[in-house]
Amino acid sequence: MAAAKILIVDDDPDTQRVLGYTLKQEGFEVLAAVDGAEALRVLERDHPDLILLDIMLPKLDGYQVAERIRADEGSTAHIPIIMVTAETDIEQKVRGLRAGADDYLVKPFHPAELLARIRSLLARFAPRYVETAPQQPAAGRVMAFYGAKGGVGTTTLAINAAIALQRDQGRRVALVDGNLQFGDHRVFLDLGLDRKSIVDVVAAPSIDQDILKSVLIHHEAGIDLLLAPPSPEMAELVSADQHHMTQIIELLRQRYDYVIIDIDKRLDETNLDVIAAADVVFVVMTADLSCLKNVRLVLETMSQLGIGSGRVQLVLNRSTAYTGITVKNAESALRRRISYQVVNDYRVAITSLNTGAPFAVAKTDTALGKSVLEFVRQLDRLDTTAADAAALAPATS
């Protein structure tokens, strides 16, 4: 099998040499360009499978190069682009994503992080090359659960979906509490403050499989947990500049069939890293006006960040609760189809939360338990192409 071709676009010869050596050692074929104009010529001539694109370039900068590539691509082609820069400003990252980048790395970065990101993007956009690194197991799917606003049941859904995937579908599942300041997984799963958390991972000399294995908690429901810090002030130890979340996600992806990450509604740099790494972002919502307003803003923001509409799926929680707004009304207002619905059953949900016993374990025969089970059966069959088609299909009216 031919090696994947990686184009390195950087005017610094030292960077070219170091990156080229690292990639060749991993079996990749390396192409090089020292400015934006040359990058476009190499692209047309040699058809690389992935591009490492510096931002500060002569003639055409990285933003312009990315925009040109995306403008010239047809609807059936997509060359993954990782932008590389020394800038840590989140506005620069957003600008890069808007220009068409699929991922973003801030110098200096560890070679292991670079390789993890490259393999993740090749697995997504050029799966014929996943054997370039034969020592790596097949990549699992990463799913981010994002609440359109507080109180819509995002955490409850993420926890019970993770458990149902393991118990009903027999999948290996890791559940990450990505609400780093005010995560609730300890409470919802009746776990004490003495349990290890993500802080123990990032505090280690290096983030690797061994440290992850020592920190992950195996829950009696069958899933493995990575908990949020035990106190809000410790959240800042998880660094956005060092892309701790990205490193953790890519390591988990290698070990599990599914990595489910429950994140809060802030679109800060840490959450943007999670969203960029996710194969699917489930936006959890309810059928009320304030939530619909938030969902619309979220969809617009995701689009501006270059997150494809097929990767963003709407989940209507408490779908049978009477709010005066029907599913058709909601789809019409959002101009998007609601992909999944989970029924309302307040008594079962609140009892589950207060007892620390997820209903996906204790109440599988209830309407809510059956609804979540149907949800995970659908997402387990989720195909990216079908997801794109469903998301772009016109909403019912």
Question: Following DSSP, what letter does each residue of 277-346 receive, concatenated?
Answer: H-SEEEEEE-SSHHHHHHHHHHHHHHHHTT--GGGEEEEETTTTS--S--HHHHHHHHTS---EE----H
Q: What is the rounded CA–CA span in Å between residue 343 and residue 180? A: 28
The 3-state DSSP class for residue 263 equals: strand
Task: Note the pTM of the prediction, 2 decimals.
Answer: 0.66
Q: Domain extents for the chain?
A: 5-132, 141-392
Q: Based on the number of CB atoms within 10 Å of its own CB, is 14 exposed (0-12), middle (13-18) or buried (19 or more)?
A: exposed
Residue 397 confidence (pLDDT): 33
Distances in Å between the Cα of 302 and the Cα atoms of 93, 270, 287 are: 14, 15, 20
Per-residue pLDDT tens for 341-380?
A: 999 998 999 998 888 889 999 898 999 999 999 999 988 8
Q: Which amino acid is at 282?
A: F
pLDDT score of 201: 95
CA separation for the pair 33, 27 (Å, rounded): 20
Query: pLDDT grade, residue 130 (50/70/90)?
Result: low
Task: Please work out, in degrees rounded to the nearest 5, the angle formed at the alpha carbon of residue 57 by the alpha carbons of 51 and 59.
Answer: 110
Provide the mean pLDDT of the chain: 87
Query: Worst-scoring range by mean pLDDT, 130-144, 229-243, 271-285?
Result: 130-144
In this predicted structure, the answer to whether residue 388 has a pLDDT above a threshold of 50 is no
| Residue length of the chain | 397
Instruction: For 93-112, write each residue's pLDDT tens digit.
Output: 888 888 889 888 888 777 77
CATH hierarchy code of domain 5-132: 3.40.50.2300
- The pLDDT assigned to 2 comes to 63
Domain 141-392 has CATH 1.10.150.20: no
Of 382 and 306, more confident:
306
Q: Is 197 exposed, middle or buried (0-12, 13-18, 19+ CB in 10 A)?
A: buried
For residue 138, the model assigns a pLDDT of 53
Alpha-carbon distance of 127 to 360, in angstroms, equals 34
Over residues 375-396, mean pLDDT? 57
